[in-house]
Amino acid sequence: MSMISNDASVVDASTFTVRRTISIAAPVEKVWSAVTQPEHISRWFGQAAFDGAGVGARGTLTFPDYGAVPLRIEAIDAPRMVSYRWGNDDASGHLPAEVDDEHSTVFTFTLEPVGDGTLLTVVETGFETTSDPAANLESHRTGWNDELDKLVVLLESGS
């Protein structure tokens, strides 16, 4: 398995959803750590910090040249599913300091063991509440392509 075989993210404009499913040649436990533990998230996504590990824990994902995006854990079913709500810029392009339930999106990672690897699906919903749904759908579509490709490289390189 290599990342060449992984399809790109797709947008469903009618439901304001971005979805991507990828195969990773790594066991579920390793992928679970990569999508839930701040020190692992920081290696492929944004610099992650949380004030706890359970539902309701708050934190930030900080990206160079972008800033700190507020984040909250919405649901966990270890090691199969984790759901995060994160802030999106407002109409003036500012990031909120805290997650704003009315103007935020939710991304959910679902992990499924397949042979000796893992099928990882991300679904992000709620773009209709953002300042520019079409632009945000597109930017997050390309974002999930880039970030999840980095995750595959990280996990399949054995590091």
Average pLDDT, the chain: 92
Q: Looking at residue 159, what is its pLDDT?
A: 59
What is the full DSSP assignment across 139-158? HHHHHHHHHHHHHHHHHHTT
CA contacts within 13 A on the Cβ side of 128: 7
Q: Cα–Cα distance between 147 and 151 in angstroms, integer? A: 6
Each residue of 114-143: pLDDT tens digit?
Answer: 999 999 999 999 999 988 899 999 999 999
Per DSSP, the three-state class of 102 is coil
pLDDT confidence tier of residue 2, bands split at 50, 70 and 90 = very low
Can you list the alpha helix ranges (DSSP code H) found in 18-156? 28-36, 38-44, 133-156
Each residue of 71-120: pLDDT tens digit?
Answer: 999 999 999 999 999 998 776 777 888 998 888 999 999 999 999 999 99
pTM for the model stands at: 0.94
**For a pLDDT cut of 90, what percent of the chain falls above it?**
79
Query: Which superfamily is assigned to 3-156 in CATH?
Result: START domain (3.30.530.20)
Q: Cα–Cα distance between 115 and 121 in angstroms, integer? A: 16
Query: Does residue 96 have a cis bond before it (omega within 30 degrees)?
Result: no
Q: Report whether 73 contacts 86 (CB < 8 A).
A: no
